Structure 1
Amino acid sequence: MIKHKDHFHGSDLEKIEQIYGIKKEDIISFSANVNPLGISPKLKDGIAANIDCITSYPDRDYVELRKCIAEYCNTETENIIVGNGSTELISLFIQIEKPSKALILGPTYSEYEREIALGGGKSIYYPLREENDFVLDVDHFISKLTEDIDMLVICNPNNPTGTAINNHDMRKILDACKECDIFVMVDETYVEFAENINEVSSVVLTRTYSNIAILRGTSKFFAAPGLRLGYAICSNTDLMQTINQRKDPWTINSIAVVAGKLMFSDKEYIEKTRNLIASERNRLYDIFDKSSRFKAYWPHGNFMLLRILEDGLTSQELFDRCIKEGLMIRDCSTFPYLGENYIRFCFMNPEDNDRLAALLLK
């Protein structure tokens, strides 16, 4: 098991406030990876207009909500299951699959390993290599798959590296996993930010592969982490039936149901978000790619990983420098395989991005 260090999460603003003496309202979080547009006006007005929904229970099967998600994802309603954030669904899939040995593509989000350990399983990591710019060598990776592995966990695009696996390569991975009887859990939390979403998302593969489940949420792209609305896409009928039998009823509240039906059909907001992130991703990558202080890795999500090239400068020092100016970046020394010379930041509004870039390059 990898030893994880303590760190400030993007939501730890109260802790930051206490330690650094900066009011949380004055902090711009480049660490949380949340859409800088905030929730859409359509969603805000829609929730206000439908607030009376809390006077009754939501539909136990969430049929209308699942239909909206299925249309948004271009898949079948029966392949959709909703949960209290993607976190609940990660936990449920791991509990039911109960892997004794899981392979995780890292460095990545630590919650996967924690959930596997809670079920008594062991996690091993396949490290993405810096010399390959953290891009997966698919053939080498497949050569390491063995029949004693029960589950493979992939974050795609990956957090914190920002790299992504395309459909062609994911299909090769699924074929190899099928031969070894390995179930594949793909976390697509950041896929909606990808410029080539149809090439990166594995949703289309769920139509022909039953050994894959895709997990998504509304916290990042729709800027609604407090809503706790997540969903999974999987065509394995037996597995989905087992999960539905296991999960508690009404874990999605009535407000989240209303919000979901509004946000997944809000085409104007979706397009505005994708355009903003695409523009800032290209612009900021170009700025840092030209810098002699950092090495930038091309990102497919809404955040970028940087390696510090300046001798003697650490990620902790940069974190301190930025937070004192009210800008919170991610010190990536807490991630497996990343040392104290990596930082990550998400793309915010252009003027805030300019402030951060100027401070980091100062």
Structure 2
Amino acid sequence: MSEKNIQQDRPAFHGSDIEQIEQYYKIPAESIIKFGANVNPLGLSATLKKDLAEHLDVITSYPDRDYKELRSAIADYCGVKMEHVVTGNGSTELISLLISERNARHAMVIGPTYSEYERELSLTGGRISEYNLSEEHDFHLDIDDFAKALADDVDFVILCNPNNPTSSAMKKDELRSLLELCNSRDIFVMIDETYVEFAPDVSEITAMPLAATYDNLMILRGVSKFYAAPGLRLGYGVTSNQAFLDTLKKHQNPWSLNSLGAYAGVRMLQDKDFIQKTRSLILSERERILNELNSFRYAKAYPAYANFILVKILRDDLTSFDIFDQAIRHGMMIRDCSSFEGLPGEYIRFCIMLPEDNTRLLHCLAKSLA
């Protein structure tokens, strides 16, 4: 039996499996640096923490059923119309609602990507196809090739932009071409922009400016990653398809977002100091990390638009689990990408943390890959 076959019998951990990792490796969870979670290393904004502590009494009242203040703040933040904004209990709720309401006959998912899309699609009973991005093109979508792969009955396309786990991204002109193609074939497009705020130039890759023009589009975002608030469960979507918005709201539970989430959301999106600090950290560290990785003999790092980097292992005697195991034994949890469908080969993914932690990880990876 080959070494790589032996590795397949070992456990596969996801980014949130900290308790399982603690049990398996006998390492205290609080001592592990979570390079697999893709959450802003600065944590929750100190300004927001203070503000929330002083306004906890908002939970004694129901939130505004229409979330007008929050939707107005989102509209200003994204440069869209307030009437095109819907809020939800995390982007997960909106993904679920969108997929169930579209009830696609044949959905195509652009991968390799987040597995939750296909899980939700499987509940609707329709056909699911995958179009996997090519490693030869650094996981960048080729529109012409994608068009050829679209079956005649496809009526729903899902894209994560920037994509997880590849950190690749489509630019606005390419997104426009994709939407034109799909519009001409009566295909609705869902674009998940969970990681867009980490991009070097957000305006270059966000689909928000296209929302008013294309009513076959819904864009989803949340505050879990950039604002380091996954427990708040605040997500939002933008679409100019009013009929679909009305249907979505009709099937959504009232007050699906609690009062604290509605209050915090407004303040988060207006916290310019926190936004600037986060972007400054991520942009400078991403460049530094990529530069160092590019000097490694046995690693290929791909262009990154999100706050994480995908790396291909170029040593035949090393697997992604080997590198994961090496890192976790030094108190650093990265992502072994072997569980991602459509990603053949040996890959790891890790997010950008504080500079000193990033340096520790690079030194660890260098032992096997430099």
Aligned residues of 1:30 and 1:348 also touching (Cα < 8 A): yes
User: Where does residue 82 of structure 2 map in the other structure?
Assistant: 77
Aligned residues of 1:89 and 1:231 also touching (Cα < 8 A): yes
Task: For residues 249-299 of structure 1, give each alpha carbon's deviation from its aligned partner in whole angstroms, at most 9, with x where no partner exists.
Answer: 111111111110110000000011111100011000000011101001010
Output aligned runs, 1:1-362, within 5 Å.
7-339=12-344, 341-362=346-367
Moved more, 139-148 or 78-87: 139-148
Deviation of residue 16 (structure 1)? 1.2
Q: 1:361 aligns to what SS in structure 2?
A: helix
1-structure distance, mates of 2:15, 2:162: 18
Aligned residues of 1:146 and 1:180 also touching (Cα < 8 A): no
Aligned residues of 1:332 and 1:340 also touching (Cα < 8 A): no
1-structure distance, mates of 2:137, 2:281: 28
Q: 1:105 aligns to what SS in structure 2?
A: strand
Task: For residues 307-352 of structure 1, give each alpha carbon's deviation from its aligned partner in whole angstroms, at most 9, with x where no partner exists.
Answer: 0011210001111111111100000011112235100000000000
Aligned residues of 1:332 and 1:339 also touching (Cα < 8 A): no
2-structure distance, mates of 1:42, 1:28: 24
TM-score, scaled to structure 2: 0.95
For 1:314, give the aligned amino acid. T
For 1:324, give the aligned amino acid. R
Aligned residues of 1:147 and 1:181 also touching (Cα < 8 A): no
2-structure distance, mates of 1:252, 1:64: 13
2-structure distance, mates of 1:64, 1:165: 31
Unaligned runs of 5+ in 1: none
Task: For residues 211-230 of structure 1, give each alpha carbon's deviation from its aligned partner in whole angstroms, at most 9, with x where no partner exists.
Answer: 00000010000000111100
TM-score, scaled to structure 1: 0.97
For 2:123, give the aligned amino acid. L
Unaligned runs of 5+ in 2: 1-9
For 2:365, give the aligned amino acid. L
Aligned residues of 1:145 and 1:177 also touching (Cα < 8 A): no
2-structure distance, mates of 1:122, 1:264: 38
Supply the RMSD in Å over aligned alpha carbons.
Answer: 1.1
Deviation of residue 9 (structure 1)? 2.5
Q: 2:211 aligns to what SS in structure 1?
A: helix
Deviation of residue 140 (structure 1)? 1.2
2-structure distance, mates of 1:202, 1:315: 33
Task: For residues 90-121 of structure 1, give each alpha carbon's deviation from its aligned partner in whole angstroms, at most 9, with x where no partner exists.
Answer: 00000000012110111000000000001112
Percent identity, please: 52
2-structure distance, mates of 1:115, 1:121: 11
For 1:225, give the aligned amino acid. P
For 1:133, give the aligned amino acid. D
Deviation of residue 6 (structure 1)? 7.8
2-structure distance, mates of 1:259, 1:135: 35
Deviation of residue 204 (structure 1)? 0.4
